[in-house]
Structure 1
């Protein structure tokens, strides 16, 4: 009887000792099943990323170290392509054009977007209609925007110069004068501010009304409220728009290529509109210098990484997140 009780007690203790291990094994099996299910659902994206993004990037890094013309096999040349980039005057010209376009266009883009979002925030019931109106141009194909640029900014009979003429202003030759090519493209890029307007409008409507009431009680005017309440509260949305549009500006291609380089266009001032990605495209698909074009692509990648890293560092002081103290 006593020995049986001891055995029973020992068995109970053994069960209590084994149970946590069994639970741990069950937990691990469940985790593996969940991981397998997650990977199964993610597999289309994973395959697409590997095939269309990761592998092309790895292969382009290899091609950047070769002399490759598509027809013949790649010939390894080391860092010769990168050395050529440093002495190529067209690279410096394209970088200068791209930098000018980006660092003038992005602030204007953000300012126009913010002004329109503030107006929409006060539009009341009509805001839905105007949101649609502002967003529709974003749906316009970039090639069509490039053609529209030539029609609107034609120095002889374009609509822009016609409107300027009503006010006694002699409009410039937007498409033929090198000094006005990039400003014209910058103005034309404001055509597609709709998406940013919608994002900023959502951020504005997410600002707590109590903050405005407190500012009003403290005697803050419009500008003080804007600087101390509105801008800090929507700073994450502003930062997102700045990051995205800076990257897009550094990759500008479609509109400028359509307007100044498409279909063998040699009528207009091409050098003033020679952006970095356009020069990369020419090297790759017009001259078949795939190795050199790959080196240009990696150069642009590094530039974007550096610019974005600087913006992220600066944002730590300027961007306010509600969850942070």
Structure 2
């Protein structure tokens, strides 16, 4: 279940770039596209925020961090990065996040990571290098690379915060409520930065070319809001709860592969043989990392623990 949800989240997130690129090329500022995405999703999720109105009082730090890092930070840094460096390069840098998650687990939480999980990350990152053909150019904008790395750091916060409270039983914050309030916080922060009153609204009333085919700009925006944001975040945070931050991070690397495939099919951007091979390596890395993590409750996902191991001994008898 967790792996399936993580894959669904990767597919949904992967479709955002294909829908957003025509809007940006039609004249919308990248930051305005991010604002439309987050604010639209926040409006859709508003009923859930009302339903879980006790969350801000019980978990204010979690909601603020989720809105700042997992919503506003990742999206703003990524869209700003692709305005200065190639999309493929920005994706590769951003999806160093799984390796950074392992670093967080190992050096901040001081838990040993399994060799298989580390190998999965290495394979996934190496495969991504082939998918985006990193060797095709070296003259990149330094600020663009720094922004992409900022997106990677924010994505680490997404995985770590999504996992927070996952084992707290009845006291765990509801993931849908966390997403709803995270989107609200992100929308407020982005409003201050993006200044949407300067947005070129007439663009949304026309059609934009997608590989030569005219498509309604409003339809593309609806896809970005409902599928690439609402569905993507909902399936993503639930997947992290069922897996673990580092495993979900590796599976999320498939977003870059799926985004490249969608760009090939919908935008006419062809895949080369090294890119196809790189996609296969990413899949292998994700599988290895998934297979190396025991089910939650049987043992610690990345470390052999004391109470957790004792609990796993009692479970078969129960």
Calculate the TM-score normalised by the size of structure 2.
0.24
Q: Which has the higher contact order (CA 8 A, sep 6+)?
A: 2
Calculate the TM-score normalised by the size of structure 1.
0.24
CA radius of gyration, larger in: 1
